[in-house]
Structure 1
Amino acid sequence: MKKTRLALACLPVLLLDLTLARADELSGIRAAAEKGECVIVHEGREEPAVALTASAYDLPSSDKQEVLKLISVFLAHGCSIAQPDSAGMSPLNVSVLTAEPDLLRYLLKAGADPSERISGSRPWANGKNSVELAQALNKVSPSERRKEVLEVLNSN
């Protein structure tokens, strides 16, 4: 598997301790997409390209359509839509964590499986599938976007 080294800054998302790629660092992700590399070294860890790219979707300065296009390029190169990041979160679960219903719809249409169980560094998420994760997050921090995420998952 080809790898790209990419130094990205991190940004916490509320209380979720989610690490995100900075939008101004998408150039490294673009380079990996052009080369068809499915793994990007981020902060010393090998991260699946699709999961890392999905994490950039909700950044205020990111172009959401560009992020979707990059994910599409990675998928066309055969990169996994299901492979979780180093914290155990799949791209689909990233969309649930960040309450991004449009990203969630895109990933579901591309074949992501919401029944996959989480196994990673977040004990509060371990063993949950995407629906259960969305329900737990909506219970702790309800919002219209979280409700929409649940509606998308439940209609799938």
Structure 2
Amino acid sequence: MGARKAAFAPVADARARVLILGSLPGEASLAAGRYYAHPQNRFWHLVGRAIGRDLVSLDYPDRLAALQAAGIALWDTVASARRNGSLDTAIRDAEHAPLQDLLARLPALQAVAFNGRKAGLIGRPQLEGTGLALIDLPSSSPAYAAMPLPRKEALWARLADFLA
């Protein structure tokens, strides 16, 4: 069934206007102790395009600082789960993250974006009725190659609407 794996702490402060939620960090991210550490994951490229900054060329602490300065918070919908490998379809016995607890600490929050289908399936039911904009984004994962990158970029660009 796979070892139990746990999410990272949220990267968030009171300035956050957008919260991006993934599902659960993959193997490369867990090994590195960093969000979206797999070299083929397009997260840093996509969110960088949305905020008008090259995040890919920055080191990890500077990437996180740039996200927070832009008003973006980061977390996952799964607090822990059993999973072999990195695919969302392999997540079993998931314990959901306490999203409402985080929201209570984000007074400027306007929108929650779900990075991929699994994040939306888990997070959306917890957040409906909050009055926040809920945005489904195509996964930044290299496992989701069905959508061309320019289309992903266009969809992720919607985040900028909440950051101005």
- Alignment TM class, shorter chain as reference: 0.3 to 0.5
TM superposition score normalised by structure 1:
0.35
TM superposition score normalised by structure 2:
0.34
Identify the structure with the greater strand proportion: 2
